[in-house]
Structure 1
Amino acid sequence: MHVLVVEDNALLARNLAEVLQQGGHSADFAGDGPHGLKLALEQDYDVLVLDLALPGMDGLEVCRHLRQQLPRRLPILMLTARDTLQDKLAGFDSGADDYLVKPFAPEELLARCRALALRRQDYQLAVGALCIDRRSQTAARAGQALKLNPQSYRILLALAEAHPRILTRSELTRKLWQDEPPDSDALRSHLYLLRQELDKPFDKPMLQTVHGVGFRLDAEA
């Protein structure tokens, strides 16, 4: 597990570092909001431990920026000395996944981080450079967010879940429209729109047509 800890209390940060290292995990640290935001956007972490009261930019603002700018879903555990219901709701509204009130036992923080990391694995799906987040229903290729309409997203998700198997046209049609497919060849139109987002900006196409069989994703693209 690779964790980013954004905490301006140096003593607490050192204690967290020891707990994470003893548990066999690695961690990066930032002591203010802007630095933490920069690291979270540039690196791939399993969990972000984010203090609420930070210099430069508070934890709520960092959280909101990440939810707006980061194409993948990063689990966020917010730390704070504030324990009112209003404070907790503000944290969740900003996009935090969990909330821990100071003081706390370091072992509890580690347990919560592990739970968040496992939860992330449940709703994230990767095929090569493609990352799909089932919870937010978003996708990114090589870190670049894809602007998909609902049907394009469902096609991409079906292909990713089936990978490396080929999905036939009839299988894709059933996944999109069950037993009531449209009269027109709507699938062709949706595949075209998907390719515009998934493949056009890149050198090598990921969505492949296997003639006479169906469609698949190329994880090497």
Structure 2
Amino acid sequence: MNVHVLLVEDDFDLAASMIEYLELENIICDHASNGVHGVQLARENQYDVLLLDIMLPLMDGYGVCEVVRREGSDIPILMLTARDTLDDKIAGFAAGTDDYLVKPFAMKELLFRIRALAKRRSSQPRRYVIDDLEVNTETRQARRGDIELHLAPKEWDLLAYMAKVSPEVAVREQMIRAVWGETPPESNSLKVHMHKLREKVDKPFSTSLIQTIPGVGFVLRHQTDA
């Protein structure tokens, strides 16, 4: 059975070389040259592995990865990039990647990693528990205690993003990029949506989980946590 991968890479020469090599190894390869098209193809088709460059037009690889994970996909993701610092790798894994291959790489190693990833689905968590709040990105459901929370799409996206990075702080600019992509919302949109989210996540309960970090962003954790 053939392996079907999606390659999101804006270097057309590199992409052509990879596609030619992979197809000789019976790996079917679709190609997108920017992040927005990559997200579209990932939504429309079933792939065994996503090959994802970081520096992409319209939406970078981190953003693509975050969108794919936020929408509940467990496709294995292999990031391909020349950015090889520890911070870059940590950012990639935090966004939801499963593996990391630094450019330039040998095609044989790429092939080995693809085949290894294609044998399993992503191990990235899709269920997050913060105190009595449960956020399930696979079913797109959130519950607090025994009560299901009915959230608007943007409210859900914001909560899912905060749950994913919890107990770390969700930085305002990163939240906006993750939820709205490369098209910035109106200046007060984040504030309005966060207010509505608090009305549903915190107001009916005795303890608040959403905390504002002035000048930085928001964090989802029990108010007694450090």
**TM category, shorter:** 0.5 to 0.7
Specify the code of the residue in structure 2 equivalent to 1:62.
V
Who wins on radius of gyration, i.e. which is larger? 1
SS in 1 for 2:119: helix
**CA deviation after TM superposition for structure 1 residue 135, in Å:** 5.7
> 2-side partners of 1:2 and 1:147: how far apart?
30
Q: Structure 1 residues 16 and 68 mapped into 2: Cα distance closer, same or farther (>3 Å)?
A: same
Counterpart amino acid of residue 117 in structure 2: L
Contact 1:6 1:33 (C-alpha < 8 Å) held by counterparts: yes
Task: Name 2:7's counterpart in structure 1.
Answer: 5
Query: 1:119 matched to which residue of 2?
Result: 120
CA distance in 1, matches of 2:39, 2:115: 21
SS of the residue 1:119 aligns to = coil
Match of 1:181 in 2: none
Code of the residue aligned with 1:7 in structure 2: it is E
User: Does structure 1 conserve the Cα–Cα contact (< 8 Å) formed by 2:4 and 2:49?
Assistant: yes
Q: Against the structure 1 CA distance between its residues 54 and 73, is the aligned structure 2 distance closer, same or farther, given a 3 Å change threshold?
A: same
The aligned counterpart of 1:168 is none
Cα distance, 1:134 vs structure 2? 9.8
What does residue 97 of structure 1 align with?
98
Segments ≥4 residues shifted beyond 3 Å: 133-140, 145-149
Alignment of 1:5-24 (within 5 A): 5-24=7-26
Q: 1:169-210: CA deviations, max 9, x gaps?
A: xxxxxxxxxxxxxxxxxxxxxxxxxxxxxxxxxxxxxxxxxx
Does 2:16 correspond to 1:26? no
| Superposition map of 1:1-221 within 5 A | 1-69=3-71, 71-120=72-121, 136=126, 145=139, 147=141
Quick one: distance in 1 between partners of 2:69 and 2:39? 11
**CA shift digits 1:78-123 (9 cap, x unpaired):** 0111111011111111000000100001111111011111122xx7
> In the alignment, is the contact (CA less than 8 A) between 1:67 and 1:95 conserved in 2?
yes
Deviation at 1:146, TM superposition (A): 6.3
Give the structure with the higher percent helix: 1
Contact 1:33-1:59 at 8 Å conserved across structures: yes
> Which residue type is aligned with residue 11 of structure 2?
N
Measured after TM superposition, the shift of residue 23 of structure 1 is: 0.8
Q: CA deviation at 1:19?
A: 1.5
Structure 1 length normalisation: TM-score? 0.56
Count how many residue pairs are aligned between Structure 1 and Structure 2. Answer: 136
Question: Residues 19 and 107 of structure 1 are in contact (CA less than 8 Å); yes or no, is this contact kept in structure 2?
Answer: no
CA distance in 1, matches of 2:61, 2:84: 15
Unaligned 5+ residue runs, structure 1? 124-132, 150-221
In 2: Cα distance, 1:106 partner to 1:89 partner: 24
Structure-2 separation of matches of 1:46 and 1:21: 14
Residues 14/86 of structure 1: CA separation in 2 closer, same or farther (3 Å cut): same
How far did 1:41 drift?
Answer: 1.2
Residue identity (%): 51
